A and B are shown apart, each in its own frame.
Chain A
């Protein structure tokens, strides 16, 4: 019987060489990650585990700590949490601790720094760790206790997931991006449509998709309940990794006779840009319908681990051009990393955003989870390129969040209501 890419990677990271979907394994992890919200709890777990032994971290070069959520520290309590990351990193000589000023939004930063590679098992105490499946790694979000245990043992328990294969075919319509494809998918299968499952993204559309769009798609696998999103590596992946020696990573592919729990095919020529309505990512509607509703908005956010990459800023900049942000709303642009920020400066996007009347922030998760840098008041509506629109997610529990691609967000920031660049 054939195996999926997910089964193969996990099997190669455990002693159980016969393990298949459904089996629980204790896997070796190649890297583990924590942030200013999740890592502090994991340090307490770690300390409890090693207490009374002479042990330290399992490998100081395989732990990554990114203070990116409530940073630059938004208040005293957040500062105390960030300090815990710094103190732990210096105490245990953690190689990949990113101080503020060098840190970026973790899921933009880690692939950029090539800290995750094809064929690896990567865990992060952050649900959007599933982003790196775009590189053909098994990558998934876990909790703080899992991270604490991994920092001590280099291991994590998993139930090897069954896989759902998604096949995307057809010609993409104008303005349709990876964000629209994943929102459309979640709209079709629901927020629990892939619970516990691996979501394997395939088809000629995926084969032509840029890495930025692939990261966006895998990033939101968790919004359908998926354990991981994964895309088999190809030349686009290899090109992204051109500065990494090929013997540093391993490319896996699913067998032709691999077992899938389900195979779902989408004809993308029928997919329009999507908008997810409050308060679930599955509440999607095509832009033609949404445009007619003339939904006025108070805030636009362009950024996040979902859409904070250079390509996302480029699309937004091109659409905004010489236009001004609508005077009735605030538009917040957040580059995902310092490198993306610098590139955007060089290409003139940042000047364009500022001249248009947008706010440009240093990299932070900030508004996505209602942390800081753009909190909504009661009855305010935001259109955001982030990943969740749960009740109260971006601020007041009587505020509303709509989700879209950067193109839709930029066009709407000019018009003041949710629309497409084409209208």
Chain B
């Protein structure tokens, strides 16, 4: 996976900032994607489009607050393919995995800046910052979670179980 970074040096980017509740009366991903991150940064969409960014890097406790799955859905619909942060709120973490949005726990976000191009290899557990020629190890996900991601999300996992019954 390869992509360009848009970074927010902010802790506790909560689900109300990712997708405000006033937009939750409609769960259409396209509608959610249009309003993604707007209360955090009014220019999010413009910045993302100008940079062609697809990876968000943020500080710790990303996705705190509500259980709304609309948060990772909105990010995905806005064209985000991966999130990198030192830590996540637990429901956001499981929601992202469940819908197949890769999410990386990575402490040293000071080594990544807006505009950097990253190459991420989940199987090797490595991340390459092409822009400043540095390479990092990223922790491997537990086997069970890898299985969910590799099968395309929890829906396919459940489908497999139900068909085996």
Contacts and interface: CB of A to CB of B under 8 A. Distances in A.
A pairs with B: yes
Interface stretch (A37-45, A202-210, A231-239, A377-385): A37-45
Given A145-B99, A195-B90, A49 B158 contact: yes
A33 B69 CA distance: 15
A392 B39 CA distance: 8
Nearest to A190: B61
Contacts of A191: 12, 61, 64
Nearest to B163: A53
B67 A143 contact: yes
Interface stretch (A149-157, A248-256, A347-355, A405-413): A149-157
B57 interface: no
B83 to A, nearest CB: 15
Contact of B17 (A81, A192, A390): A390
Interface stretch (B23-31, B47-55, B108-116): B23-31
B117 interface: no
Contacts of B148: 157
Contact of A192 (B64, B66, B68): B64
Nearest to A149: B158
B25 A55 contact: no
Interface residues of A, number: 54
B162 A145 contact: no
A349 B89 CA distance: 39
B159 A49 contact: yes
A50 B155 CA distance: 10
Contacts of A222: 91
Contacts of A148: 155, 158
B14 A153 contact: no
Interface in B131-165: 142, 144-145, 148, 153-155, 157-159, 161-163, 165
B69 A144 contact: yes
Nearest to B11: A192
Nearest to B93: A196
Contacts of B159: 48-49
A74 B165 CA distance: 42
Contacts of B90: 195-196, 225, 227
Interface string A123-143: 011110100000000000111
A391 B61 contact: no
A129 B65 CA distance: 12
Contacts of B60: 192
A280 B16 CA distance: 12
A89 to B, nearest CB: 18
Nearest to A157: B144
Contact of A75 (B25, B70, B99): B25
Contacts of B69: 38, 41, 125, 143-145
A400 interface: no
Interface of B: 12, 14, 16-17, 20-22, 24-27, 39, 60-61, 64-70, 73, 87, 89-91, 94-95, 98-99, 142, 144-145, 148, 153-155, 157-159, 161-163, 165
6 contacts: A37-B21, A49-B162, A55-B165, A141-B91, A146-B95, A370-B20
Interface of A: 24, 37-38, 40-41, 45, 48-50, 53, 55, 69-70, 74-75, 77-78, 80-81, 124-127, 129, 141-146, 148-149, 152-153, 155, 157, 159, 191-192, 195-196, 222, 225, 227, 280, 369-371, 388, 390-393, 397
Q: Which 10 A-B pairs have the closest CB atoms?
A: A143-B95, A77-B25, A145-B98, A143-B69, A192-B61, A127-B67, A144-B69, A369-B21, A141-B67, A78-B25
Given A148-B155, A388-B16, A392-B16, 14 more contacts: A24-B145, A37-B24, A49-B155, A75-B25, A126-B67, A127-B91, A145-B69, A152-B158, A192-B89, A195-B61, A195-B87, A225-B89, A370-B21, A392-B20
